[in-house]
Amino acid sequence: MNQPLAIAILGASGRMGRALIDSTLRTPTLRLGAAIERSGHPLLGSDAGTLIGVAPAGVALTDQLPAALAATAVLIDFTSPAATLAALAACVAARRPIVIGTTGFTPEQKEAITAAAREIPVCIAANYSVGVNVALKLVELAARTLGDDYDVEIVEAHHRHKVDSPSGTALAFGEAAAAGLERDLRSNAIYGREGQIGPRKRETIGFATVRGGDVVGDHTVLFLGDGERVEISHRASSRTNFASGALRAAEWLAGRPAGLYSMRDVLGLNG
């Protein structure tokens, strides 16, 4: 019988970190091998199970990333761009795969991730929900089929604590629409409107951002035509679906050759 895959979780005390701990402890094929936080974090030394309100897991929060990587098979990271880049370097040194759920990377940081993927397996996605990734595929198909006769607008809402805007998932929906329309998103995206802006350009892909309350994540892509509109929406009511998808990606990534993978690879949606 195969041994459970040992998972390391970076940012273990955060919202996603706690959801990942909970899902890992509930998954028979996985084992929580390490729960990692930044140096000086007040919860260092706390038991990961106690942290999420269940029985002790026998894994204490640590700031010793190299030791944690040595004792585990895959690192899952939902932190910040700077923390992710530091973890990525540690994973390259330890020859460990990494599942990245952090968003908000600069173009230079994305290049660093691509370079690391030449050395180790890296899975990066703006959203690890299976439903979101199916919706991304549908958006690309809808954009390709509806074509230039429909205007594309993307509306997203998240909790008041989210620091990046638009969300990484909203940008992924924009990229999916742009791919279907054979447009360059960076050249055609509009991230807000105010004042006398003039008529809408046909090639525009617009984004509207809402922040407030405890919204986990709502996304709607609107295809607005003359006489009708098509809407593709995804609404998350908890972080469990993100955690389950990230763990699915971790199991898939273990043993893969070096390369840059996405959740669409994990789900077989790139065909």
Q: Which residues are catalytic?
A: 158, 162
Task: Give the position of tokens 């990692």.
Answer: 36
Longest dimension (CA), the chain: 67
Closest of 16, 32, 13, 11 to residue 168, by C-alpha? 16
Count of Cβ atoms closer than 10 Å to residue 120 Cβ: 21
Rounded Cα distance between 143 and 133, Å, is: 15
Q: Taking Cα atoms as reference points, which of 208, 203, 209 lies closest to residue 177? A: 203
- DSSP 3-state assignment of 239? coil
Task: Tell me how far apart the alpha carbons of residues 181 and 258 are, in angstroms, rounded to a whole number.
Answer: 31
Q: Under 8 Å CB-to-CB from 115, ≥6 apart: which residues?
A: none
Q: CB within 8 A of 82, min separation 6: which ones?
A: none
